[in-house]
Every structure is written in structure tokens, then in C-alpha cells.
Amino acid sequence: MTAPTLEVVADADALTTALVSRIVAACHHAVATHGRFVVALAGGRTPLAAYRSLAERSDLPWERVVVTWGDERWVPRDDPDRNERAARAALLDHVPIPPDQVLGWPDAADPAACARAHATVLAGSLGDPPRFDLVILGLGADAHTASLFPGTGAVQAGGLTTVVRPAGGGVRLSLTAAALGNADEVLVVVSGADKREALQRTLRADEPPDALPLTALHPAGRFVILVDEAAAGESSGPADGVGVER
């Protein structure tokens, strides 16, 4: 794993504030530098407050924003568990982003076809391989990130997208470790004491990548893990090469 910077904030509210600040800064920098902001959003509950906060801002050039997701569940488009549906309800339905700049995982006959179709769309719209300005990720209590689940071999997948079948059931679709790392900034957002052990293990990075999928990423740019005190616990104490900011 490329050594990250660990940024520790007080609580979930501070985490939301910090996440919003980083998204806004990355957006303005990207638009000023090359005319558009390409972001891969994270699913899950942790970033939703930040998405709702962004929906209230009038200072972002939404017409220059391109959005996709690092992963998705293989469920119907209107399923409440779908990452895209949650992000639309919190953010995208409330801002003037052009519909063709929202690159959701497409409908398809089966998961493999969906993964292939999404890879084609990303390569056609964002370059091959796609380059992101910002990739936002989470970290599960089992140490999964995006839908790269431990023990599934997903971290070994090549190309841009992969189909993942976690041990707990269901089918997931995910950008590969290589695709997720091809970004100016990879920002991992971790909240809550239930994530503490997974965070500690990931920072130690002394297990194989298949057990700790985040360690399979080698970001091309900045690599920041943004955590609250509940997730950091006593351990933010850095593993080899990990910088800590409080």
C-alpha cells in the first residue's frame, strides 16, 4: 500500500465538514486546472451527510462535474440499497448537473454484462484508463473498500471493473484496485468505533491484500484517510510511513 496521510477529526460532524471541504477544494482545483471535475462517489451511510451539505451550496460549477461510483449493488435501479439512488436523493436530484455527466452503473442482462458496459462508458467518457480527480471510499468493519471484499480475490481483478460475490451473499460491482487508484486524490472516510480494528489492520498492512483490500491500492496522487476519533481510537499512532494530522 502507498503510505497514506491519516487525518483525525473529533466526531462525525467534523468528519462531514472536512469531507465537504475536501470535495469543494478538489472540485475548484480540477475545474481551474483542466476544465472539469471527475469524482467517484462512495456508497454507504457515512458520506450521505456530506452529500446533503453539498446540495445546499451554490458555489460549485455543477455543469463541469462528472460523477460516477466506485461500486454498486447488483439490484434494480429503484432498489433503496442502490448507491446511486441514495446519492441522487441526497445530492444529485437537487443540483443542476447535466444528466449525461452522471455515469451510473448501467442496466444489463447480468452482472458481467453490466461491468463490461460500465467499463466501456468510463473509458469512452474519461479516457482509457479513466483518470479521476477524486475517488471517495469507505472502509467496512470487515476491511472491505468499494466492493472489494476480503477473501473474494477481487483485488486481483484486472481491467476497470469486476463482479464480486461476498461471502455474506448478494452480488456487487466494483471498480478494480488499479482503477480506483488512478486518481489525483484518493480519500478514504472512516467513522465509528466499529471500524477501528479494520483501520488498525489496514494501517499495519501486515496481511495479504486479499485480506485487506485497501492495501492493494497504489494511488497515483494524494492518499488521505479521514477518520473520526471513534474510529482512530488510541491507534492513530502511526504505522511505518503513515503521517498523522489532527
Residue 234 pLDDT more than 90? no
Alpha-carbon distance of 97 to 195, in angstroms, equals 33
pLDDT value at position 150? 98
pLDDT > 90 fraction of the chain, expressed in percent and rounded = 91
pLDDT computed for residue 242 by the predictor: 58
Find the mean pLDDT for residues 24-48: 98
Please tell me the number of Cα atoms within 13 Å of 182 on its side-chain side.
17
Average pLDDT over residues 183-212: 97
Tell me, rounded to whole angstroms, the distance of Cα 33 from its chain centroid: 22
pLDDT of residue 3: 86
Strands 172-175 and 161-164: antiparallel
Over the Cα atoms of the chain, what is R_g? 17
For 17-34, the DSSP string reads: HHHHHHHHHHHHHHHHHH
pLDDT tens-place string over residues 55-92: 999 999 999 999 999 999 999 988 999 999 999 999 99
Fold of 5-245: Rossmann fold (3.40.50)
Per the prediction, the chain carries an average pLDDT of 95
User: What is the distance between the alpha carbons of residues 206 and 143, in angstroms, rounded to a whole number?
Assistant: 13
Mean pLDDT of 200-227: 97
Q: What is the pLDDT of residue 51?
A: 99
CA distance 158 to 98: 31
Show me where the domains of the chain are located: 5-245
How high is the pLDDT of residue 103?
99
Q: What phi and psi, each to the nearest 5 degrees, are found at residue 9?
A: -120, 170
Under DSSP, the state recorded for 238 is P
Given a contact cutoff of 8 angstroms between Cβ atoms, the answer to whether 25 and 39 are in contact is no
Q: Mark 97-122 as b/e (b = at least 16 C-beta within 10 Å).
A: beeebbbbbeeeeebeebbbbbbebb
Reported pTM: 0.95
Q: What share of the chain is helix, strand, coil (3-state, %, to 5)?
A: 35, 20, 40
Cell (9 digits) for 63: 455543469
C-alpha cell at 165: 460475490
User: CB count, 10 Å around CB of 79?
Assistant: 11
| Three-state SS at 82 | coil
Check residue 41 and give its pLDDT. Answer: 99
Q: Which of 195, 225, 184, 211 is nearest to 29 (CA)?
A: 184
Count CA atoms within 13 Å of residue 138 on its CB side.
23
Examine the pLDDT at 38 and tell me if it is beyond 90: yes
- What per-residue confidence (pLDDT) applies to 238? 52
**Which pLDDT band holds residue 138 (cuts at 50, 70, 90)?**
very high
Give 236's pLDDT tier (boundaries 50, 70, 90).
Answer: very low
pLDDT tens digits for 139-185? 999 999 999 999 999 999 999 999 999 999 999 999 999 999 999 99
Q: Is the pLDDT of residue 137 over 90?
A: yes
DSSP character at residue 207: S
**Stretch 87-105: mean pLDDT:** 98
